[in-house]
A = this chain, B = another copy of it.
Amino acid sequence: MRIEINEAAEFFRQNDDYLILMHASPDGDTLGCGNALCTALQRMGKNAKAVCPDEIPHRFDYLSEGVKQQEFEYRTIVAVDVADSKLLGDMKELGDMADLCIDHHESNKDYAKRLLLREHYASACELMYEVLVALGADIDRIIANCLYTGVATDTGCFKFSNTKPQTHITAAKLMECGAEIAPINYAMFELKTQGRIKLEQEVLSNMRFYGDGHVAVVSVMLDTLAKLPDVDSDDVGAMASIPRQIDGVDIGISIKEKKQGYFKASLRSSERINVADIAGGFGGGGHARAAGCSFYCSYEDAEKQIVAAACEALKQAGII
């Protein structure tokens, strides 16, 4: 059942003992949303706990500043920024029992009893901001930091095309509420571990170009990662954006070795190429500018196949 913002606020007033579910491979949006809601509910005198199936990277520690540990038996389940209960990993069954889902993904599977969805919002945190305003919550520095984190991380700090005028307006309001944007943005966008730096070097030094320089390919192999113990999945994921940053590249490809003989390719493109179509040809999918697919073969075969498809797309677009 689709519900609206004031109905969600009423739901939070009437219920208690909340278990808040945040998605696996947690990002700033699900964590910001979950911790902001948990903090606000506890301040209303409710019991609440925000949980995530995966370990939460330490750079997000500040998001739980306002959360108290409470012992209680949950009676109400709320999923935030979770498009599909499958994205809850080990907690999928809890997701399937969710009383409410608050989300911004067009692909939301409508798995919860109630759904508050805003597909055109760049982040779930923008929607959570409106829910908390409707609840009359005091959006102080701590909650504003949580919500700002989701807004900033889901938009690449207002860089991506999902950023809307309203996204900037919400950011302005969160700053007025005390959001500490400079240290948050430093932690989210600038700070790198020494392992991450080494991984970038390794990836850059092995970049290969095809199609008159319009295709760039990088690879992340398991033996490289084995030498870099402080590299996390976030660091590896960030490699996907590197090849497309090179001047002249229309299709950036990063190929990650998942297991021996099993590779995942991430594709990024300029507005001249639809990489969802390329990935679709290998049973994958995604968006026009960011898509992915898998290969069960040798590394050489995987690269050969994806590069051939990329070059074919360049030809069809009249680029080469």
Seen from chain A, the residues whose Cβ lies within 8 Å of a Cβ on chain B are 156-161, 163-169, 171-173, 175-176, 181-183, 185-186, 189-194, 197, 200-201, 204-205, 207, 241, 244-247, 271
Tell me if B161 and A165 are in contact (CB < 8 A).
no
8 CB contacts below 8 A, A to B, read: A156-B185, A158-B158, A159-B186, A159-B190, A168-B168, A168-B169, A183-B271, A191-B245
Partner of A175, one of B165, B189, B245, B247: B165
User: In the bound complex, what is the Cα–Cα distance between A304 and B271 (angstroms)?
Assistant: 48
Partner of A157, one of B159, B182, B244: B159
Tell me if A165 and B158 are in contact (CB < 8 A).
no
Number of copies: 2
Tell me if A181 and B165 are in contact (CB < 8 A).
no
Tell me if A247 and B164 are in contact (CB < 8 A).
no
Chain B hits for A181, CB < 8 A: 158-159, 161, 163
With both beta carbons as reference points, the residue of chain B lying nearest to A59 in the complex is identified as B247
Tell me if A182 and B160 are in contact (CB < 8 A).
yes
Chain B hits for A192, CB < 8 A: 245-247
Measured CB to CB, the closest approach of chain B to A208, in angstroms, equals 12
Partner of A173, one of B156, B161, B165: B165
Tell me if A166 and B172 are in contact (CB < 8 A).
yes
Tell me if B200 and A185 are in contact (CB < 8 A).
no
Tell me if A191 and B247 are in contact (CB < 8 A).
yes
Tell me if A159 and B189 are in contact (CB < 8 A).
yes
Task: Choose among A164, A185, A204, A247 the residue with the greatest number of B CB atoms under 10 Å from its CB.
Answer: A247
Chain B hits for A244, CB < 8 A: 190
The 5 closest A-B pairs by CB, nearest first: A161-B182, A168-B172, A165-B172, A159-B185, A168-B168
User: In the bound complex, what is the Cα–Cα distance between A172 and B168 (angstroms)?
Assistant: 6
Partner of A247, one of B161, B193, B204, B205: B193
Measured CB to CB, the closest approach of chain B to A59, in angstroms, equals 9
Chain B hits for A176, CB < 8 A: 165
User: In the bound complex, what is the Cα–Cα distance between A181 and B241 (angstroms)?
Assistant: 18
